[in-house]
């Protein structure tokens, strides 16, 4: 009997393919993001000097210098170099660099290596500059932007949370709410909340100014893959889950939309516990860190809006009673796709195996799910996961990178006639589901 052939994987997305979105990102978007960081750091100098003295001022100069150097490395296609800070993940990053260099017989470069690797490396290098500070080791160079996005989205947040409060009251008064329809609504709000991404807009303002509830009907045709019915079948078949996970993406309105989904999963009786996964440090401009999560809940509690303050307190209580659990893991800020989780984070993989369903939010999580490869658009989502089957998975993603799977024959061509940039402009989305399990 012959051995089965190993799956032939398509090439990784990379800036070496000129005209690709990866090329545009490395050439244009990343240098703009780095320039904005340098500007942000410069504007902080007076406040930091008052608060931390000369050590703080020197730290800011160091961060600005490191970021400017990094920007030059990106623009001139320099070789990727080892990390030099003492954070616990350095050994893994540097060993991976060494392994890739040996395998390829040359050091990775910005415009030649896989896009996923070099883009993740850039954000880790930004954090290296912070980790090497004397007194500013907790500095978040993206904090102001994330907080401004939240503040600019107040109107949409209030409308959404007022609706959630009405839904919550219907469950407490036994008003026979339609659990399936409401789940679909909150999943779609969380899906389209992903449009507000500061990394895709190169750190430009990108707030959610209108409530998505009124737009869901018009947006639904733009969901190119919609596996909601399969998700609902799973939930209906299994009854109440002990655990559902949400791997978070962006702070701001998107985080609020995710927390509303998490709240709905609890009040509807779909699950008793929601595990929320954030990033251990600032990542891809707007990703949720523990500090962002805490700040958001504090802002809700302090709001003059009845619904915002109500859920701010409810959600703090959920963290205290254990019905919500927020955590981070080093793997989420590594350059690996999810098919490598068993190798580099077996503890996390085993933990996810205990989940009844894992929602993965956003574009970066989708890229990591499908390996950030140039798949044919008709490749099935299950196949593109390439062995990542810890639990049933549901990706809620608006498309901001030139990779998408699970489309029907001819569907890509039809969409492209309407919108040639459908893969990258965030106007189209997928709800992709996999029930395959690693047994």
Residues 342 and 215 in one domain: yes
| Nearest by Cα to 64 from 82, 83, 48 | 48
What is the predicted pLDDT for the residue at 286? 94
Range among 36-50, 212-226, 408-422 with highest mean pLDDT value: 408-422
Last residue of a domain, one of 131, 165, 185: 131
Residue 358 lies in a domain: yes
pLDDT tens per residue across span 98-147: 999 999 999 999 999 999 999 999 999 999 999 999 999 999 999 999 99
213: confidence class by pLDDT, cuts 50, 70, 90: confident
- The pairing of beta strand 223-226 with beta strand 429-434: parallel
Residues 388 and 281 in one domain: yes
Last residue of a domain, one of 99, 131, 163: 131
On the question of pLDDT at 7 being above 70, the answer is: no
What CATH number corresponds to the domain at position 378?
3.40.50.10880
Residues 125 and 182 in one domain: no
On the question of pLDDT at 4 being above 50, the answer is: no
Q: What is the mean pLDDT of residues 280-304?
A: 98
Residues 331 and 373 in one domain: yes
152: CB partners within 8 A, 6+ apart:
205, 207, 209
Quick one: what percent of the chain has pLDDT higher than 70? 95
pLDDT tens per residue across span 58-72: 999 999 999 999 999
Q: What is the mean pLDDT of residues 311-320?
A: 98
Tokens standing for residue 378: 């008709």
Using a 10 angstrom Cβ sphere, with 0-12 exposed, 13-18 middle and 19 or more buried, the burial of residue 32 is middle
On the question of pLDDT at 2 being above 50, the answer is: no
What is the predicted pLDDT for the residue at 200? 46
CA 352, CA 369: separation in Å to the nearest integer? 14
What is the predicted pLDDT for the residue at 1? 40
What is the predicted pLDDT for the residue at 439? 73
Stretch among 124-138, 207-221, 262-276 having the lowest mean pLDDT: 207-221
Residues 55 and 200 in one domain: no
Name the domain count of the chain.
Answer: 2
On the question of pLDDT at 27 being above 60, the answer is: yes
CA 395, CA 388: separation in Å to the nearest integer? 13
Residues 127 and 147 in one domain: no
**Residue 335 sits in which domain range?**
143-434
CA 284, CA 286: separation in Å to the nearest integer? 6
What CATH number corresponds to the domain at position 67?
1.20.930.60
Residue 14 lies in a domain: no
Q: What is the mean pLDDT of residues 254-258?
A: 97
CA 237, CA 336: separation in Å to the nearest integer? 33
Phi-psi domain of 379 (left: phi exceeds 0; alpha: psi -120 through 50; beta: other): beta
Residue 174 lies in a domain: yes
Residues 313 and 406 in one domain: yes
Last residue of a domain, one of 131, 157, 184: 131
On the question of pLDDT at 205 being above 60, the answer is: no
pLDDT tens per residue across span 317-346: 999 999 999 999 999 999 999 999 999 999
pLDDT tens per residue across span 148-192: 999 999 999 999 999 999 999 999 987 889 999 999 999 999 999
Tokens standing for residue 205: 């303002």
Q: What is the mean pLDDT of residues 303-325?
A: 98
Residues 260 and 358 in one domain: yes
User: How long is the chain?
Assistant: 439
Residues 286 and 332 in one domain: yes
What is the predicted pLDDT for the residue at 210? 67
Cβ-contact 437, 389 below 8 angstroms = yes
Cβ-contact 253, 148 below 8 angstroms = no
Tokens standing for residue 318: 């959920």
pTM of the model: 0.95
Number of alpha carbons in the 13 Å side-chain half-sphere of residue 223: 24
Tokens standing for residue 412: 């890509």
Is pLDDT larger for residue 194 or for residue 433? Answer: 433
What is the predicted pLDDT for the residue at 131? 98
Residue 298 lies in a domain: yes
Residue 365 lies in a domain: yes
Is pLDDT larger for residue 6 or for residue 210? Answer: 210
SS (H, E, C) the chain: CCCCCCCCCCCECECCCCCCHHHHHHHHHHHHHHHHHHHHHHHCHHHHHHHHHHHHHHHHHHHHHHHHHHHHHHHCCCECCCCCCCCCCHHHHHHHHHHHHHHHCCCCECCCCEHHHHHHHHHHHHHHHHHCCCCCCCCCCCHHHHHHHHHHCHHHHHHHHHHHHHHHHHHHCCCCCCHHHHHHHHHHHHHHHHHCCCCCCCCCCCCCCCCHHHHHHHHHHHEEEECHHHHHHHHHHHCCECCEEEECCECCHHHHHHHHHHHHHHHCCCECCEEEEECCCCCCCCECCHHHHHHHHHHHHCCCCHHHHHHHHHHHHHHHHCCEEEEECHHHHCCCCHHHHHHHCHHHHHHHCCCCCEEEEHHHHHHHHCCCECCCCCCCHHHHCCCCCCCCEEEEEECCCCCCCCCCCCHHHHHHHHCCCCCCCCCCEEEEEECCCCC
């Amino acid at each position: 009997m012959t051995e089965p052939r190993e799956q032939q994987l398509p090439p990784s997305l990379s800036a070496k393919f000129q005209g690709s979105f990866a090329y545009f990102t490395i050439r244009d978007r990343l240098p703009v993001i780095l320039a904005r960081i340098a500007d942000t750091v410069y504007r902080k100098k007076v406040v930091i000097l008052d608060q931390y003295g000369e050590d703080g001022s020197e730290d800011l100069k160091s961060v600005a210098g490191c970021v400017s150097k990094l920007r030059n490395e990106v623009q001139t296609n320099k070789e990727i170099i080892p990390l030099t800070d003492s954070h616990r993940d350095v050994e893994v990053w540097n060993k991976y660099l060494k392994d890739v260099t040996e395998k390829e017989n040359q050091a990775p470069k910005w415009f030649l290596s896989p896009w996923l690797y070099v883009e993740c490396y850039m954000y880790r290098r930004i954090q290296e500059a912070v980790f090497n500070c004397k007194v500013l080791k907790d500095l978040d160079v993206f904090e102001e932007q994330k907080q401004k996005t939240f503040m600019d989205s107040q109107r949409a947040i209030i409308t959404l949370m007022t609706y959630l409060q009405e839904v919550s009251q219907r469950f407490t008064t036994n008003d026979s709410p339609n659990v399936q329809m409401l789940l679909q609504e909150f999943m779609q709000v969380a899906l389209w909340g992903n449009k507000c991404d500061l990394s895709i807009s190169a750190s430009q303002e990108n707030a959610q100014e209108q409530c998505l509830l009124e737009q869901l009907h018009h947006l639904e045709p733009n969901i190119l893959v919609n596996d909601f019915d399969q998700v609902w079948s799973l939930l209906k078949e299994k009854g109440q889950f002990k655990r559902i996970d949400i791997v978070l993406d962006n702070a701001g309105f998107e985080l609020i939309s995710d927390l509303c989904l998490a709240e709905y999963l609890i009040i509807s009786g779909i699950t008793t516990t929601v595990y929320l996964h954030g990033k251990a440090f600032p990542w891809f401009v707007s990703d949720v860190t523990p500090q962002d999560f805490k700040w958001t809940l504090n802002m809700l509690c302090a709001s003059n809006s009845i619904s915002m303050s109500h859920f701010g307190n409810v959600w703090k209580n959920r963290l205290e009673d254990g019905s919500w659990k927020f955590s981070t893991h080093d793997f989420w800020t590594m350059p690996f796709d999810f098919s490598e989780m068993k190798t580099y984070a077996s503890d996390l993989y085993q933990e996810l195996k205990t989940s009844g369903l894992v929602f993965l939010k956003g574009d970066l999580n989708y890229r990591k799910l499908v390996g950030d490869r140039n798949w044919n658009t008709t490749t099935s989502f299950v196949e593109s996961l390439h062995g990542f089957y810890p639990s049933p998975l549901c990706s809620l993603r608006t498309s901001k990178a030139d990779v998408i799977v699970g489309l029907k024959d001819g569907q890509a061509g039809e969409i492209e006639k309407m919108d040639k940039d459908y893969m990258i402009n965030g106007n189209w989305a997928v709800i992709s589901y996999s029930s395959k399990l690693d047994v």
